[in-house]
Every structure is written in structure tokens, then in C-alpha cells.
Structure 1
Amino acid sequence: MNNTLLYVLTVLIWGSTWIAINYQLGEVAPETSLVYRFGLAALVLFLFCRMKNLPLAFTLRQHAQLIAFGVCLFGVNYYFLYLAQQHINSALTCIGFSTMMIVNILNARLWYKTKITKQVYYGAALGLFGIITLFWPQINDIDIGANTLLGLSLCLIGTVFASSGNMLSIKNQQMKLPVMQSNAWGMAYGTAFMAVLALVRGVEFNFSLTLPYVGSLLYLSIFGSVIAFGCYLTLLGRIGAHKASYATVMFPAVAVVISTFVEGFVWDLTTVIGFVCIMLGNLVVLSPAKQGAKNQADSTSHQQHISQEEVAKEEMTPAKA
């Protein structure tokens, strides 16, 4: 797939998972739901790899890397987000998780010395402003008490772990670990971690045989985990965490559009302004580098090439007596 299709699929699928997560909360504990979600996703990925004869054997060092990757991205990250959504509404959770773009920018700089262009900073600021504007009516009605602060804190902790998982995914791809097999093992290790955590905390492994719970579980496992993570992590390795993570800023916009048709959400002026800001930020972040900068780089490269040719000619010319 090309980068545009990978990005669109990631945004559309993950933008709809916020509604699906709501159906996972309640009767079944978050730890248990996550074991079911990523356990099923890992099983599907392993079966796919077997059908396609994709190699699944890795060294101990590689498995250690995949354990860290799986625990961060498919375990602790979602555990804190599920807990957060029990204390705050999905709007605040969206806003909190969307800060992952800022965290990814900082981590990319810290982990890989990635140089971030000004347009990425401008686009990120525009996108985050758009999210706050989009959800301003809900934010304005919230009583900022201990419960809300706890929910936001849990969300931000989950976001930090998610960003760490992103950085580890980039490291996986630098180590030439294929995305599909890495995700299979990562989700298996994330599932194992959540199962151990559930046992330690004495959580019941019950199941809800209702249509909303089963339907949302299947959607989150197949589309939200197998397909969306495959698209996003591939994109991460291609265009970098600082650009790929703008998808997290786009999720709320998609969620609002879905809510308009499914829940009868009514748009107002703040909704329109926020939506426009998010889309403009998306264009700024993902637009190619400025032509002027590109031409200057090409000119510099051309001048260096000419200089090298002149030096070579001088070396080949016999010296005069």
C-alpha cells in the first residue's frame, strides 16, 4: 500500500474505535477485555503468517525487543486508556491521547535525533487547538475535580507508553524485523502481560454474550488491532513518528463525523472551527518540504558536485615545470 492509503485506513478505523471501546466498559473488567482483544488479534496474525509461510522465528535478543514493544503498545498503553475512560468522557480521552503527537516529536528527537521542521510544529499546534475547540462545549461543562484530574493523568500515562511503543516499533524496523510478525509476537506478549496483571489483581475472566460487547470486541480485534496497527506501524517506519502520529489528532474529527450519523450529534460554530483547524493542521504536517528549501538543497548538492569535478580535473592536469 502507498502511504496515503495507509494513513487514511489508520485514521478511519481508529477514529471509530473510540465508540467501540465504550461498549467494552462495564460488565467485563478492562484487563480482561484487553486479554480478549489482543489475544484474538495475535491468533489471527499468527494464522495469517502460517498461511503465507512468513517466518516467525527470532533470536532471544529480538524477542526481548518484542516483549518491550508488546507490553508498551498492546498492554500498558491501552490499560491506562481504558481506566481513564471510566473517569472521564471520550472527548477528554481523545484530547489527552492526541497529545501523543507532541510526545512523539520529543521522543523522536530524544531517541533518534530526528530533526523536526517548523511546519510540523505549526501543524501540531493547529491540530491540538482544533481538538480543544471541537470539544470546547463538553470541556466547558466539566467540573474539574479529583476524578477528572485522575482520568486525565491516567490518559497521559497511557499516551507516554504508547509513544514508547512507537519508538520501539521504529527500532524493530531498523533491526529488519517485519511488521506483521512483530505485531503478532508483540500482541501475544501484550496479552500475556495483561493476563498476568489480571491474575495478580484477582480480576474475574468473565464474558458478556451481548451483541454490543461481542461486536465491538471483534471490530477492535480485527480492524482496530490487526489492520490499523499494521497500517500505522508501517507508516511509522516510512514517514517517521512525528508525521504518522498526526493520525491521533485526526481521530476526534472522524469520531465527530460518525457521531453525527449514529448519535445525532449537532454541529455548531465551535465544531466547524475545530474541524477546519484539524484538517488544516493535517495539510501542514503532511505537505512536502517547501520547494525553496528543496531547490536550495539541490543547488548546494550541484555546487558540491561541480567542485568535486574541478578538484579531480586539477589533480589529473600535469604540473608545469
Structure 2
Amino acid sequence: MNAVLYMLTVLIWGTTWIAISLQEGIVAPVVSVFYRFAVAAILLFPLLILCKRLRPLDRRDHLFCMLQGMCVFGLNFYCFYTAVSYISSGLESVIFSIAVIFNALNAVVFLRQPVTAKLLCAALLGVAGMVSLFWNDLVKDVGNSDTLLGAGLCLLGTYGFSLGNMISARHQKRGRDVMTTNAWAMGYGALFMAALATLSGAEFTIEMTPSYLISLFYLSVIGSLVGFGAYFALIGRIGTGPAAYATVLFPLVALSISTVFEGYVWTPGGFLGLGLILLGNIVMFARWPKVRFLAQRYQ
């Protein structure tokens, strides 16, 4: 089951890159993010009620769902959508892959989870692979204030994503249903983005084109309902650190699609990066003797 959830997350999020690119146009990013999670929440609540899966939450749970919504279903995507105006998508992918390290460190601080040697090794291999894979983009983008602003926004968005992972882990440790907390968090995230769009003066327009509407449906249903459901379920089963390794792998799916439809050209550095990422995947999920450190003093 873990392998199914893992591969589902990688394949779905690997394909959302193209869908997100189709959202660029006359609709402001903050409004597109609002539409995405509003549609997801509107679809998920009736489905859970119909299946009798909507579980009650107490006030403290709702507070954490609000925080999760802002971190994972709101501000982080706003940061990524804004950053794409300043840096390349390749550099964004490199920065987002740091989520695996953020999750490992945040798990020590917030969840008292141990950091294993293989997790740290796999994370370093994965990030090194992403740097090698997108080295040309890194060299091209470094050296101007726009790059620093874009990189800062991506780091902020990635850290927000990681904090949302910690909240999901907290929900599941308390026995809360993943889809119930996701529904409320998406709803709260959508409301927060609607408020942000109103305060910023953005217009709630919608682009009535097949590309925008189909991509919005895909991002809302497949990317959000199924993708985040699988990912957060994986967090509950294997932990925040190993689950976040999917953020290192899913750009490879995006690149494969780009090779076919957008003419992406593989370089020697790209093949080296692919090898490092796959090696990190082997290190992460192969059966090795467990060596724990760093977090032992917190236990």
C-alpha cells in the first residue's frame, strides 16, 4: 500500500506542472489558487457526507485545519505562482526539493521523530541530483535581485508546505481522518485566498477557455483531492521525512512529459542528476540497518 500511495503521489504531482502552466493568463494567481481549492472543497464535502466519512472535529482541530489551509492550500501556492515571474521553473523545482530536508528537521522539532542516517543520505543525494539536473538553469538565473526574490518566495512556500506536513502528521497522531481534515483545510485555505484576493484588489474573473477550465478541473480533483489525500495518508504510514522524498522525484515525471511535448533536451548533467535521484530513492526505501542520531536526545 505504501508503494501505491508513493507512486500515486509522484505521478499526480509530476503531471500538475503542465496543468499549472496552463493557468497562467488573465486570471490573477491568487484567484486561480482560490478557484482550485474552492472547487476541491465543494466537491469533497458532499462526497464525504454521502459516504458517511465526514468526521467531527473539535475547536482545536479546526484551528489546526485553518493553519494547514494557509500553509498548504494557500500561501505556499501563492508564493510559487508569484515566483515563476522571477525565476525559471527548474530553479523552483530545485528549491522545492529541499522540502525533504525541511520535513526531516521539522519532524525533530515538532514531532520528536528521529532522523535516520538513510533519510539524511537520501535527502542529500536527492538535492544534489536536482542541482545537477537543473544546473544550467541555476547558472543562468544566479546573480540578480529578481532571482533572490524568486528564490526567497520559493523557500517561503516550501517551508509553508513543510509546516502543513507537520500539521497533517499531528492530525493523524490524534486519530483524525485524513480526508476530513483535508476538506476543512482546503475550505479554510480557499476562504483565506479569497480574502487575500479581495484585499489586494484582484478581480474574480475566469478564463472561459478549454485549457484553463480543464487544467483547473485536473488541479482541483486529481492534483488536490487525490494527490494530497494520497500524500498525507503516506505521511501517516511512513513519516514526514520519507514521504517528502516524493518532492524530489515528481519533477522527473514533469521532465519526461516536457521531453515529449515541449522538446526538453537532456544534458550529461541531467543524466547524472537522474542517477543521483534514483540512487537516493534506493537508499531511502531499501532495507538497511537503522542508525538513529540527532533526535535521540529529544526522546
- TM > 0.5 fold call: yes
Confirm or deny that 1:190 pairs with 2:189.
Answer: yes
The CA distance in 2 between the partners of 1:82 and 1:132, in whole Å, is: 21
The aligned amino acid for 2:276 is C
Describe the superposition over 1:198-228 as per-residue Cα deviations: whole angstroms up to 9, x where unpaired. Answer: 1111111011011221121111111110000
Q: CA deviation at 1:56?
A: 4.0
The aligned amino acid for 2:274 is F
TM (norm. structure 1) is: 0.88
Confirm or deny that 1:16 pairs with 2:40.
Answer: no
Name the counterpart of 1:7.
6
Q: CA deviation at 1:25?
A: 2.0
Name the counterpart of 2:129.
130
Q: Which residues of 2 match residues 216-227 of structure 1 at below 5 A?
A: 216-227=215-226
Confirm or deny that 1:111 pairs with 2:99.
Answer: no
Name the counterpart of 2:156.
157
Confirm or deny that 1:86 pairs with 2:90.
Answer: no
Cα pair 1:73 1:165 within 8 Å, conserved: yes
Confirm or deny that 1:265 pairs with 2:246.
Answer: no
Cα pair 2:178 2:233 within 8 Å, conserved: yes
Q: Which residues of 2 match residues 1-321 of structure 1 at below 5 A?
A: 2-290=1-289
The CA distance in 1 between the partners of 2:58 and 2:120, in whole Å, is: 39
Q: CA deviation at 1:140?
A: 2.3
The CA distance in 2 between the partners of 1:60 and 1:252, in whole Å, is: 37
The CA distance in 2 between the partners of 1:265 and 1:72, in whole Å, is: 32
The aligned amino acid for 1:165 is G
Describe the superposition over 1:272-308 as per-residue Cα deviations: whole angstroms up to 9, x where unpaired. Answer: 11111111101111223328x7xxxxxxxxxxxxxxx
Q: CA deviation at 1:17?
A: 1.2
Describe the superposition over 1:120-170 as per-residue Cα deviations: whole angstroms up to 9, x where unpaired. Answer: 111111111110111112222225211111000000001111111000000
Cα pair 2:40 2:220 within 8 Å, conserved: yes
Percent identity of equivalent pairs: 43
The aligned amino acid for 2:81 is Y
SS of the residue 2:74 aligns to = helix
Describe the superposition over 1:230-260 as per-residue Cα deviations: whole angstroms up to 9, x where unpaired. Answer: 0000000110011000000112211111111
The CA distance in 2 between the partners of 1:192 and 1:151, in whole Å, is: 25
Listed as ranges, the gaps of 5+ residues in structure 1 are 294-321
The CA distance in 2 between the partners of 1:60 and 1:169, in whole Å, is: 16
Q: CA deviation at 1:44?
A: 1.4
The aligned amino acid for 2:43 is V
The CA distance in 1 between the partners of 2:86 and 2:276, in whole Å, is: 28
The 1:26–1:144 alpha-carbon spacing in structure 2 relative to 1, beyond 3 Å, is: farther
The CA distance in 1 between the partners of 2:90 and 2:177, in whole Å, is: 35
The aligned amino acid for 1:20 is A
TM (norm. structure 2) is: 0.94
The aligned amino acid for 1:25 is E
Cα pair 1:253 1:278 within 8 Å, conserved: no
The CA distance in 1 between the partners of 2:142 and 2:103, in whole Å, is: 30
Name the counterpart of 2:296.
none
